[in-house]
């Protein structure tokens, strides 16, 4: 009985793997490439009724040289990270991203582009955009 159950689980798992492979095949290597190289910096977006916070994990950049702009609800961030250069040293491994990057993020439509703030702590850029008053849920009380 347990044998049958285990067999079922394995085949289900195999099925997922097969699907995963097919998905990989369809998108080819480009997807992988874009995740490893093009996806710098990685982005997290967290929202609540008051504001939308965008986190970009961009360690070791000159945050003052970042170009952060917002047009209506489209946020774009452009910057560059200098390659680590060591004179008189041989390079054994180079995995860290270097070069220019640009990320464009579409935010919810109710954000207010005139209320944006940004900070840079421990290599993470945080951009907070306030949402418009009307979009916040309002409690309607019954009298």
| Angle, vertex CA 18, rays to CA 16 and CA 23, nearest 5 | 95
The pair of structure tokens assigned to 57 is 């994990």
The residue with tokens 């965008």 is: 54
Of 117, 113, 118, 119, nearest to 132 by C-alpha is 113
Q: What is the smallest separation between the CB atom of 42 and another protein, expressed in angstroms?
A: 8
Q: Smaller CB distance to another protein: residue 44 or 109?
A: 44
Q: What is the smallest separation between the CB atom of 45 and another protein, expressed in angstroms?
A: 9
Q: Smaller CB distance to another protein: residue 59 or 72?
A: 59
Collapsing DSSP states into helix, strand and coil, what is residue 7? helix
In order, the DSSP letters of 18-72 are HHHHHHHHHHHHHHHHIIIIITPSEEEEEE-SSEEEEEEE-TT--GGG-EEEEET
Q: Smaller CB distance to another protein: residue 26 or 91?
A: 91
Q: What is the smallest separation between the CB atom of 115 and another protein, expressed in angstroms?
A: 18
Q: What is the smallest separation between the CB atom of 68 and another protein, expressed in angstroms?
A: 17
Residues that bind another protein (CB under 8 A): 41, 44, 46, 48, 53, 55, 57-61, 63, 84, 86, 88-97, 120, 122-124, 126
Q: Smaller CB distance to another protein: residue 76 or 84?
A: 84
């Amino acid at each position: 009985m347990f044998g049958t159950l285990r067999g079922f689980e394995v085949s289900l798992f195999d099925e997922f793997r097969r699907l995963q492979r097919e998905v990989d095949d369809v998108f080819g290597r480009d997807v992988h490439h874009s995740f490893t190289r093009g996806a710098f910096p990685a982005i997290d977006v967290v929202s609540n009724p008051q504001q939308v916070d965008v986190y970009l994990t961009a360690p070791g950049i000159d945050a003052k040289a970042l170009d952060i702009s917002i047009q209506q609800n489209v946020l774009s961030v452009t910057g560059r990270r200098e390659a680590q250069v060591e004179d008189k040293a041989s390079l054994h491994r180079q995995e860290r991203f270097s070069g220019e990057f640009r990320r464009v993020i579409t935010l919810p439509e109710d954000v207010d582009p005139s209320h944006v703030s940004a900070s840079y702590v421990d290599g993470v850029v945080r951009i907070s955009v306030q949402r418009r008053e009307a979009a916040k849920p309002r409690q309607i009380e019954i009298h």
